[in-house]
Amino acid sequence: MKNTVFLGTLTVAGLCAAAASAATLDDVKARGNLNCGVTTGLTGFAAPDANGVWEGFDVDVCRAVAAAIFGDKNAVQFVPTTGETRFTALSSGEIDLLARNTTWTMSRDTDLSFDFIGVNYYDGQGFMVPKNLGVTSAKDLDGATVCIQTGTTTELNLADYFRANNISYEPVPIQTNAEAQQQYLAGACDVYTTDASGLAATRATFEAPADHVLLPEIISKEPLGPLVRHGDNEWGDLTMWVLNALIAAEELGITSANIADMSAAPTNNPEVNRILGTEGELGAMIGLENDWAKNAIMAGGNYGEIFERNIGENTPIGLARGLNAQWTEGGLLYAPPFR
């Protein structure tokens, strides 16, 4: 008798767990906040400011999703993850969304059972060296000691690149960007390699950024994007369209300055009206209120504003838009139509 009750309880608990993990949106709504995985600290992309408030390019994606769901950009619990822990955190359900400059690869999308919801930064792997080494090309790095974040695609690209060019190197595996920075500055390695954006962000925090140079070689394609668990398509759709809304908003000229006016009454542009919810029922299609995109854009501005504020040319990180410009400006950003 006792046995049966015990087993029954276990089974019910198991079923509940299975059912609960199916609908992430319901979970998030019930919890009242979004659990968003970010880096343990990479200035410009995700790092706590002096008051402990997380800010950055990836953080703003999390905030936009939270704002779309709750209308409150602060309804986010940020979970710092390392290159090693991020996938386990996502697949175990500890986080609902991973926005941690993660490269979209086929095996991660399929074998690891995740779904990338888009690309928020088109990147490539680069090298940073101290200027006084006099190195001008990655091909001069024969015999160098290379600091590298372990558990990343950069680790594999590096091995492939040096092998293809028949040059030797000594890898020093490092767990976080902060440790890598310390090792690099202490001279325990000659070179630090990671995504070029990460290098720029790291260099910006140095005491003397001008003493370090990024080598011209970009040795890989690194489309960085947020990702969710495979299998909950509704949740994947929701997050994907929040990201698309941010990108489309820039293209259509919706900014945090004019969004209040534009959403007050229908404008002459029907697509703007559909995004801002003054026309049509796009919100209901992803299980949200009709002002979801308006809230998402109000959280941190459109994609261009988020970029300029966190990592743009006027910040210490100083990244140009490059590939990350709108398709109309010669970049790769191209949001599908809101219809």
Partner 1 sequence: MSSISDSPRGSGFHLSQLIYDTRYRSMTIQVVTFLLVVLAIWQLGSNLLANLANLGQEPDFGFLDSRAGYDIGSGFGTSIIGYTSASTHIDAAFVGILNTLLVAFLGIVLATIIGVIAGVLRLSKNWLVSRLMAVYVEAFRNVPLLLWIVLIYAVMTESTPQPRAFRVDEAGIADAYMVFDAIAITNRGVYLPGPIWGPNSGILIAVFIASVIGALVYRRYAKKLLFDTGRLLPMVWPAIVIAFLPVILLFFVLGRPVGLDYPVLGGFNFSGGMQISNPLVALWLALSLYTGAFITEIVRAGILSVSKGQSEASEALGMRANRTMSLIILPQAMRVIIPPLTSQYLNLTKNSSLAIAVGYPDVRATLGGITLNQTGRALECMLLLGLFYLALSLIISFVMNVFNNSMKLQER
Binding site for partner 1 (CB under 8 A): 3, 6-7, 10, 14, 18, 83-84, 87-88, 91, 107-108, 111-113, 133, 141-145, 150-152, 155-156, 158-160, 162-163, 169-175, 183, 186-190, 229-231
Nearer to partner 1, 92 or 258 (CB): 92
The distance of closest approach from Cβ of residue 176 to partner 1 in the complex, given in angstroms and rounded to an integer, is: 11
Return the H-helix or E-strand segment holding 101: strand 97-103
DSSP secondary structure string, 209-224?
Answer: GGGEEE-S---S-EEE
The distance of closest approach from Cβ of residue 76 to partner 1 in the complex, given in angstroms and rounded to an integer, is: 25
Nearer to partner 1, 133 or 325 (CB): 133
Q: CA 330, 331, 337: angle at the middle one, nearest 5?
A: 100
**Cβ-based burial of 201 (10 A; exposed 0-12, middle 13-18, buried ≥19):** buried
Nearer to partner 1, 14 or 253 (CB): 14
Nearer to partner 1, 29 or 108 (CB): 108
The distance of closest approach from Cβ of residue 160 to partner 1 in the complex, given in angstroms and rounded to an integer, is: 7
The distance of closest approach from Cβ of residue 192 to partner 1 in the complex, given in angstroms and rounded to an integer, is: 13
Which amino acid, one-letter code, is at 32? G
- Residue whose structure tokens are 């534009």: 262
Please state, in angstroms and rounded to a whole number, the distance separating the CA atoms of residues 310 and 57.
Answer: 6
E runs forming strands in the chain:
34-39, 47-48, 54-55, 76-81, 97-103, 114-116, 121-123, 125-130, 144-149, 169-174, 191-195, 212-214, 222-229
**Chain-centre distance for alpha carbon 134:** 34
Rg (CA), the chain: 22
The distance of closest approach from Cβ of residue 266 to partner 1 in the complex, given in angstroms and rounded to an integer, is: 44
- How many Cα atoms occupy the beta-carbon half-sphere of 79 within 13 Å? 20
Nearer to partner 1, 183 or 255 (CB): 183
CB 292 within 8 A of CB 286: yes
The distance of closest approach from Cβ of residue 208 to partner 1 in the complex, given in angstroms and rounded to an integer, is: 17
The distance of closest approach from Cβ of residue 156 to partner 1 in the complex, given in angstroms and rounded to an integer, is: 5
Nearer to partner 1, 144 or 296 (CB): 144
Nearer to partner 1, 171 or 266 (CB): 171
Please state, in angstroms and rounded to a whole number, the distance separating the CA atoms of residues 192 and 141.
Answer: 11
The distance of closest approach from Cβ of residue 211 to partner 1 in the complex, given in angstroms and rounded to an integer, is: 14
Nearer to partner 1, 144 or 215 (CB): 144
- Largest Cα separation within the chain, whole Å, is 78
